[in-house]
Amino acid sequence: MPFPRRKPARIALELLDCIDARNGEASKWDLIKVVGTESQFRYWIEEFLLEGKFVEEHRKSNHYFYRKTEAGELLHKLLENGKIMHAFLKVSGKRLRRD
């Protein structure tokens, strides 16, 4: 049975939760397990979270680790409170959208 598709806000929340669950610093492998593949990791981490400065990358020997920035902390709080994100998405178009 296939798994239901996760919404982007859910994936971002799970990535940030993963960092918190590992004492504020998750390895590349920890995050790949959340998104499923290396290409999804590149999309989510490199093209979204790193580029938006929500997380920062650092290297210890030959391993990469990721931790949240101040902006990442704020994004995490917004994602945890789904009502705020839902309201923001609702008004982000040209006109107020109906559910």
pLDDT in tens, 50-77: 999 999 999 999 999 999 999 999 999 9
User: How high is the pLDDT of residue 2?
Assistant: 67
Q: Is 97 left (phi over 0), alpha (psi -120 to 50) or beta?
A: beta
Q: What is the mean pLDDT of the segment spanning 75-89?
A: 85
How far apart (Å, rounded) are the C-alpha atoms in residues 47 and 40? 10
Q: Which 3 state secondary structure label does DSSP give 64?
A: strand
Rounded to the nearest angstrom, the gap between the alpha carbon of residue 36 and the centroid of all alpha carbons in its chain is 13
User: How high is the pLDDT of residue 98?
Assistant: 59
